[in-house]
Amino acid sequence: MKDIPDIVQDTNRTQYALGRLLGRGGQGAVYAVCGRDLAVKLSNVQNPEARGRIRENIARIKRLPLDGLNVARPLRALAPPQAGYVMELMTGMEAIGTITRVPRAHTADFAQWYLDSGGLLRRLRLLARCAALMRDLHARGLAYGDASPGNIFVSRDHSSFEVWLIDCDNIVHGTARRVIYTPGYAAPELFGRYQGSDSLTDAWSLATIVFEALCVLHPFCGDLVHDGEPELEERAWRGELPWVDDEEDDTNFASRGLPRPMVLTPSLQKLAVECFGASRKERLRRPTAGAWAEKLHKAADQVIVCPECTSSYYLNMKLCPWCNAPRPRFVIATVYLRDPS
């Protein structure tokens, strides 16, 4: 975006000083507001008619049933000449992309980055909260529309597990008429532009983020796509290539990433097979956000912390996969909840 203002004003003439860039997408950018628990979504649209439609969309979003959900809904629309809105945002948040994308400085030793960014347990907790938030959104008949690592924010503090959806421009009831997506996270039918976003395209985006965060590997960026021509990447996004763990076609096998049994329980592996395998061509077979939430929460409950290196791993392993220290003794507790009603 060109000519970013230092200060913007809403329709009530309240001014906001723009701080650091929080995220950027095809429709604009999100900036923190200096000194306040707020953020500003600034559109990059220049056409006056398009800016009018943006203001109408902001009014529509404010009427959606989002109460009680961690969705940064618009609080105030920006006054002309800017187009966008002011939204609430908790302090100490960062994009979930910080646990899905290996920084260039750590590509040679991503294992240490994986541990320093919270390891397995933090990822499972955050992803479970994210899946539950998406499930609750779908339960209200709504679809998020464009889930990607840049518009899902999580707690920066490793001891906290807050999750927020910060870019709600594309939330709709049922199925969206417009086709908007982030390449690499859009379901094949959405990328192919023959299906608008809905709860099932959301579920694909969620599954992609889950797999990438846990395995340090995009489910369709195998060696064929990673080392091949750019056209192969587009074919992968359209669902024309097998995923990295396809049991019947290993042409897109990945020699990178973490071993799946090390970071995925059998239940999570099954969901990945169903999503990236079966539902790649038959979308109705796609696991829901609720299914991911359930299995991610259960997976997090099966994790222990190594007393030697403080990394986390599944309790069915006899040695810590990070330092080879013997597994510590542990107790499994089963909790039963009684509902008097």
pTM: 0.93
For residues 85-115, b (16+ Cβ closer than 10 Å) or e, as one string?
A: bbbbbeeebebbbebbbbeeeeeeebeebbb
Phi/psi for 217 (5° steps) reads -165, 130
For residues 19-40, b (16+ Cβ closer than 10 Å) or e, as one string?
A: beebbebebbbbbbbeeeebbb
Strand partners, 333: none
SS3 268: helix
Per-residue model confidence (pLDDT) at position 2:
59
Per-residue model confidence (pLDDT) at position 180:
86
SS3 205: helix
DSSP 242-260: --TT-SS--TT--S-S--H
Per-residue model confidence (pLDDT) at position 296:
98
SS3 150: coil
Distance CA 184, CA 175 (A): 20
Phi/psi for 317 (5° steps) reads -95, 135
Q: Is 40:84 a contact under the CB 8 Å cutoff?
A: yes
Per-residue model confidence (pLDDT) at position 287:
98
- What's the 3-state SS for 21-60? EEEEECCEEEEEECCCCEEEEEECCCCHHHHHHHHHHHHH
SS3 15: strand
CB contact set of 329 (below 8 Å; sequence gap of 6+)? none
Per-residue model confidence (pLDDT) at position 54:
85
Per-residue model confidence (pLDDT) at position 48:
81
Per-residue model confidence (pLDDT) at position 129:
98
Instruction: Please give the average pLDDT of every successive group of 10 residues along the chain, which has 341 residues.
Output: 82 94 79 91 84 87 93 91 88 91 87 95 98 98 94 94 91 89 95 93 98 97 95 95 96 95 98 97 97 98 96 97 96 89 81
Per-residue model confidence (pLDDT) at position 1:
52
Per-residue model confidence (pLDDT) at position 339:
86
Phi/psi for 28 (5° steps) reads 155, -160
Distance CA 224, CA 230 (A): 11
